[in-house]
């Protein structure tokens, strides 16, 4: 049965910020993307790095030959070990959306952030 866990107050994680903490023995990264909160398990599916310590950035988008399109700024989490990229909003990897890090539901109530796991 999933339980809700208090992870932070909204003022603890400003826009663009993150908080990494342990919940039920699992390390989780909670991210604030423009006022929306997302929680990801801190384990990269490639070789198990603490992915939530990676850079939050953007990425190159599909484009025509000789074109360079950059986008999704502030929405991509890049693993610090080998650079695999994940969409923070979904937890899915950019190279194959069938795979990704575990994502937990997040809710905000009375200025408190909760995750369900
Ligand atoms: S462990 Fe994350 S990309 Fe290799």
| Mean local confidence (pLDDT), 47-70 | 95
> Which of 49, 76, 101 best tests ligand 1's pocket when mutated (most atoms within 8 Å of CB)?
49
- State the pLDDT confidence band at 2, using cuts at 50, 70 and 90: confident
Asked if 63 contacts 40 with a C-beta cutoff of 8 angstroms, the reply is no
Q: In the 8-state DSSP scheme, what is residue 92?
A: B
Most distant pair of Cα atoms in the chain: their distance: 51
Distance 110 CA to ligand 1 centre (A): 36
Asked if 20 contacts 43 with a C-beta cutoff of 8 angstroms, the reply is no
The pLDDT tens digits of the residues spanning 12-47 come to: 999 999 999 999 999 999 999 999 999 999 999 999
The residue whose C-alpha atom lies closest to atom 1 belonging to ligand 1 is: 47
The phi, psi pair for 18, rounded to 5°, reads -150, 160
The phi, psi pair for 92, rounded to 5°, reads -80, 150
Residue 23 contacts by C-beta under 8 Å, 6 or more apart in sequence?
5, 7, 115, 117
Q: Is 46 touching ligand 1 by the criterion CB < 6 Å?
A: yes
Judge if pTM exceeds 0.85: yes
């Amino acid at each position: 049965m999933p339980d809700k866990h208090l992870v932070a107050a909204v003022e603890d994680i400003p826009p663009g910020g993150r908080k990494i903490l342990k919940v039920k023995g699992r390390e989780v990264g909670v991210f604030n993307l423009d006022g929306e909160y997302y929680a990801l398990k801190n384990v990269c599916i490639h070789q198990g790095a603490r992915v939530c310590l990676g850079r939050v950035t953007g990425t190159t988008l599909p484009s025509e030959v000789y074109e360079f399109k950059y986008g999704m700024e502030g929405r991509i989490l890049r693993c610090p070990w080998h650079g695999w990229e994940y969409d923070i909003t979904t937890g899915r990897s950019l190279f194959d959306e069938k795979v990704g890090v575990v994502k937990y539901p997040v809710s905000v109530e009375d200025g408190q952030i909760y995750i369900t796991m």
